[in-house]
Amino acid sequence: TPSTTDGYLLSAVTLAALLLHASGAPVEDTPTDMPAGEPSGEEQAGPSNLLSVSPVWHAVLGATKRHQKEFEDEFQHELKYHFLENYKVSSLPAGCPLSNFSKEACLHRLAHGLRIYTVLLKHVEKEYPGNLICSVVKYYSDLLINLSKDKMRNPEQVTALTSSQEAQLLGGLDHLDAFQRKMTAHSILRQLHHFLVDSKRAITKRENTKARMADRLLAPISFYNQKFKDEIIQKHL
Ligand SMILES: *[C@@H]1O[C@H](CO)[C@@H](O)[C@H](O)[C@H]1NC(C)=O
Ligand SMILES: *[C@@H]1O[C@H](CO)[C@@H](O)[C@H](O)[C@H]1NC(C)=O
């Protein structure tokens, strides 16, 4: 229900605020654009109803964005961040193409992709036990899956990965040496950031198109209203 989602969202925002504060980030970075509380719980057809403007994006992208600094600190700037491009994980999920996918299809790609990343984050956790970015991102990914399912026509088609799919995703990383495993862990976080940025852009585009289409459908009505009024006025002057 929307009210439970709002409750989780609020705690997510609080969590993000605490983490940003703990990391010494300036207070302005704290997500303050909380959803306008609708105590009535009624479905509002306003902008707050759009997934693309949900504060969860700010929260999750804030965490994944911090990864670059964490990486550079760990390797004392001896390795550049784009060095991670050499460690492509083959099983990464596809994002939403820019043009010919519906909003529904994009939401499914987002939810499915996040399920895959959630499994891959187990590899990150194994390499970096207790990593803060990892646990924050896991929480928000789960929340984002729930929020995108709220917007789907067919949320039941979002299924959990089977244990054999999971084993397959992680099994490919077993043969790597210690350094490669670390780089792969960092690469997963880096790719996840790009996946989230692209997904947000794709969903924003779909949601804005819908809003513009509604405007365009209504615009001619007021145009003809005005024309009609003008004609009447002309006749009676
Ligand atoms: C979208 O276009 C690509 C090629 O540009 C095609 O491979 C794909 O099947 C299309 N998808 C849909 C849902 O139409
Ligand atoms: C997402 O939904 C599941 C199932 O309803 C629930 O167990 C979980 O707590 C939710 N996660 C978040 C972060 O809201």
Sequence ranges of the domains in the chain: 2-24+52-235
Query: What's 2-24+52-235's CATH class?
Result: mainly alpha
Separation in Å, CA 83 to CA 6, 19, 63, 88, 186: 39, 27, 20, 11, 10
pLDDT at 222: 62
Ligand 1, atom nearest to 101 Cα: 13
Q: Is the confidence at residue 34, as pLDDT, over 80? A: no
Distance between CA atoms of residues 97 and 86, nearest Å: 24
- pTM, two decimals, is 0.74
Ligand 1, atom nearest to 100 Cα: 1
Greatest mean pLDDT range, 8-17, 122-131, 209-218: 122-131
Q: Is 100 in the pocket of ligand 1 (CB under 6 A)?
A: yes
* Count of Cβ atoms closer than 10 Å to residue 121 Cβ: 22
The tens digit of pLDDT for each residue in 61-111 reads 999 999 999 999 999 878 888 889 888 888 899 988 878 899 999 999 999
Largest CA distance in the chain: 88
The tens digit of pLDDT for each residue in 112-128 reads 999 999 999 999 999 99
Which of 99, 100, 206 for mutating ligand 1's site (highest number of atoms within 8 Å of CB)? 100
Q: Is 81 in the pocket of ligand 2 (CB under 6 A)?
A: no
Mean of the per-residue pLDDT values for the chain?
A: 80
pLDDT at 178: 93
The tens digit of pLDDT for each residue in 161-208 reads 999 999 999 988 878 999 999 999 999 999 999 999 999 999 999 998
Q: Which residues contact 211 (CB under 8 A, 6 or more apart)?
A: none
